[in-house]
Structure 1
């Protein structure tokens, strides 16, 4: 019983999922820079059912991650911090600023070049890592700061999903897309008819994923769409949406995201690649977008919204806290890597440099964000 309780406490910890993600990233880097590097890359290019293992991870498993994001977003919209317009405005405005400013910085460095399609790379925030860093500071962190960070990060992910759907779709098969929309419409009817069995929604979700994959729209978008067809009740913790969200949390945090990190961060690092990273307009745009654009965009947008009277800063928060959350917002990692793969399909060299820039920008953001909050947070717990 003691062991079970310890394991449950371990898996419930935000730090644990973040540390596991970091561990698999380091493991991938070590293997890729060892004598097993060739075998590592060859393994992920093994094909099964017309897709490589890497594609199964990025197109298949990550659709489940987006399903969880969609379920979390729906819960926040119905009963969470985004359900009340006044409460939702601050993180929403902050998230918009935190997406547009990094994009503008990247565009400044890469407008008119062959790398401008990477504009979406520095726009997103990695919730797992950002919350993990915040949790290291323990009870010193105001609850309102955690809520603010989670809220704008969830909106960030929704923005990333929209960017993927709109800007990273090269060609569309209208027949497959209409078929996917028809299945979604059927699932919405099942919801309206109060069908409370999980099986038809899961089977329908698999169909939507496959049809979306064939349509040319990235299939992870199907995960978000599926989330909004599943029955939700603000008064019933046993609703299908609640059950599925709880069921997916551990597999996503402790299996899917580590596998994604392991499959996508095996970068061969040498002096030439490091020199390229710090001299390439693409990587400079990514690092500057994450490290400067994120905190500036988040804090400035929030400050302007408060000064304009659109919303209020929670009483337990100070602007130093918002700046710290903005710095942690520069931890792009999962979503930034994901968008990189879509922005530069088949361009291995630029993908390599971009991922190195993402790792560097995310690492700097995490360390600086932790240091900043360690200074500005009071030594005692804030309970409001």
Structure 2
């Protein structure tokens, strides 16, 4: 019997869930065109990191070429913006750092709010380790920097070392390509969100010198109006645009750094999981438009589609490619142009500011993140995800020393002396390079110590009666674990084998189901798996599962809801649990376990904790189980 076709690449549940463009690729029909949606999460990260690196090199070459005077002259060229008696004078450099970077912080704010509202950080037990590690990754680097720069203007630049560059960090992880990076990627994304919150707080509290209360109060009132925009029947897009521009202008006038307007607006944008009522309404209008094409139906269907997904997620999808592929490269071009002449290099080599930045980002991130992770595990405050070790966290912590974007941003607002700015930028660039090299070396050593060939032979996560779906006594002497897919016909046939195996052993066997949805070949597998978890929340997992296997060609959302009715479940609760973070995390946990173990086909069986190789008909499984029982008896008799 042949297994289901494996996916073209290993299962990566974290990529599917954690990047806006990756989420877009799964959320929208193929006929909707979204910039960047055709790329995978890892491809987007590699391209974004490559563009940042390219424009950094261009800036360095430009600033150190015969045209170097043109670099400073161009970015310091000024122009006026006039509105009646109000005049705002800006340079091209301030347009990038004060205006365009507001979009970057807007995108960061959207991601932060989403993660705390419906994403990874809603599960507090899952988030505790990376949150504590991130806090240590803020405090320890700042402490190391201040040890080397305890006073004077240099001490004011402590904020330069607290934040990692998320785009470079994830791009570097994709480029380094450690074995099975998905768990580490989820950990680093969670860490990066907390890291960004800390950096934004530092900018707001410590790098705002003088505040004019009148425009600040006006900006707060305008933010209140932004909150009310969600209740407008039409014209919400233009309203958000006009009010956001006014908030930026008033914050700029108040003395608060205007990029924080992006964060403030993002935090009041609504976010919620897709709502069943709006989704069904959108489907009804789409059918009506198909039957009777008209501008009225088209407009109504378009509005209904928009209403079915929160403004937060729509805006992430729209802005993420432009931030990654346009704004951040322009920021690198405007800020990375350090003149690397003998005088600058000599000053940097003897500067405690430069060495404080290097030590803070490189040493501080490694010590803070890795040390906090080890301590949290040691004292039982939290647990790392299966397959994620302190050694792998150390590799990720080394890469976290890449503090490019926000570090350079804080250099510009924390240091006024141009010579000191150059020393600080040399420190940021050197630290980012060292961090990448150290992270690469760390992962090469880790992968050599734990070769990929040894992975997948043993079940990485022990059976947990409080979490796993188990048939049979929890303390049975024999264990059979299946990683399966509800849309895979071979899993359905294997279920028949399982029934025969269970009948043969009776109470001596416990059977355990874990999820491995092969989404590239089975588009409804993930939804079906989440539905089974929604049924499990009502104690009906093994009642619901046979309905999924019996009707593998009908696994749309409406079908799943009808099966809930047939199984006698509370449908409203089932519908809510189907969309919950808890159900998604349960499925993604199993899928990430499967990736770490290099499982690419379904069904895959484990006899006890050892992977079963060979046929999985009833008699083959019985022979394998008997052999494992004999081996355990021999071990006990010795």
> TM > 0.5 between the two?
yes
Q: Say whether the 8 Å CA contact 1:144–1:317 is kept in structure 2.
A: yes
Structure 2 residue matching 1:331: 3-state secondary structure = coil
Q: Which residue pairs with 1:76 in the alignment? A: 115
CA–CA distance in structure 2, aligned partners of residues 221 and 5 of structure 1: 26
Note the 1:21-100 alignment, pairs <5 A: 21-48=52-79, 49=81, 50-100=89-139
CA–CA distance in structure 2, aligned partners of residues 63 and 306 of structure 1: 38
CA–CA distance in structure 2, aligned partners of residues 370 and 360 of structure 1: 16
| 1:181 aligned onto 2:220 | yes
Q: Say whether the 8 Å CA contact 1:201–1:230 is kept in structure 2.
A: no
Displacement of 1:142? 3.0
Displacement of 1:213? 0.8
Aligned counterpart for 1:135 among listed residues 174, 187, 212: 174
Q: Say whether the 8 Å CA contact 2:142–2:360 is kept in structure 1.
A: yes
Displacement of 1:144? 1.2
Displacement of 1:308? 2.4
Deviation string 1:107-163 (CA, Å, 9 cap, x unpaired) is: 111112331100111100001111111112447233110011111112111111110
CA–CA distance in structure 2, aligned partners of residues 321 and 138 of structure 1: 12
Structure 1 residue matching 2:383: 3-state secondary structure = coil
Structure 2 residue matching 1:51: 3-state secondary structure = strand
Q: Say whether the 8 Å CA contact 1:198–1:240 is kept in structure 2.
A: no
Q: Which of the pair has more CA radius of gyration?
A: 2
Aligned counterpart for 2:397 among listed residues 323, 326, 334: 326
Note the 1:190-205 alignment, pairs <5 A: 190-191=229-230, 197-205=236-244
Displacement of 1:10? 8.1
Q: Say whether the 8 Å CA contact 1:173–1:216 is kept in structure 2.
A: yes
Decide which structure has greater strand share: 2
| 1:148 aligned onto 2:187 | yes
Decide which structure has greater helix share: 1
Note the 1:327-366 alignment, pairs <5 A: 327-345=398-416, 347-366=417-436
Displacement of 1:40? 1.4
Q: Say whether the 8 Å CA contact 2:101–2:327 is kept in structure 1.
A: yes
Q: Structure 1 355/194 Cα, relative in aligned 2: closer, same or farther at 3 Å?
A: farther
CA–CA distance in structure 1, aligned partners of residues 121 and 212 of structure 2: 35
Structure 2 residue matching 1:82: 3-state secondary structure = helix
CA–CA distance in structure 1, aligned partners of residues 147 and 234 of structure 2: 50
| 1:17 aligned onto 2:48 | yes
Q: Say whether the 8 Å CA contact 1:294–1:329 is kept in structure 2.
A: yes
Displacement of 1:5? 11
Q: Structure 1 179/242 Cα, relative in aligned 2: closer, same or farther at 3 Å?
A: same
Structure 2 residue matching 1:9: 3-state secondary structure = coil
The CA RMSD measured in Å over matched residues stands at 2.2
Work out the number of aligned pairs and report it: 381
Q: Which residue pairs with 1:279 in the alignment? A: 350
Q: Say whether the 8 Å CA contact 2:373–2:390 is kept in structure 1.
A: no
| Structure 1 segments unaligned to the other structure (5+ residues) | none
Q: Structure 1 295/33 Cα, relative in aligned 2: closer, same or farther at 3 Å?
A: same
Q: Which residue pairs with 2:381 in the alignment? A: 310
Normalising to structure 2: TM-score of the pair? Answer: 0.57
Aligned counterpart for 1:255 among listed residues 326, 333, 345: 326
Note the 1:103-122 alignment, pairs <5 A: 103-122=142-161
Q: Which residue pairs with 2:584 in the alignment? A: none
Q: Which residue pairs with 2:590 in the alignment? A: none
